[in-house]
Amino acid sequence: MDSNGLADPYVKLHLLPGASKSNKLRTKTLRNTRNPAWSETLTYHGLTDEDMQRKTLRWIMFMFDT
């Protein structure tokens, strides 16, 4: 966070298990905010019903600031 209390948050999504680039998605970074609200749709393509049953979605919010 900045000295003014603002941050630059973003969210990363990972489908686990799996380390390929196609298993990772990321939102846009929202600049200078205390209350982030994303209006984005992130879509994984090519998932089967079986994939949906055996994979886990992990999401992490980062509060990046320079």
| One pLDDT digit (tens) per residue for the chain, 66 residues | 666 789 999 999 999 998 788 899 999 999 999 999 999 999 999 999 999 899 999 999 998 766
Pairwise CA distance, residues 63 & 53, whole Å: 31
CATH of the domain spanning 8-35+45-64? 2.60.40.150
The H or E element that residue 44 is part of is none
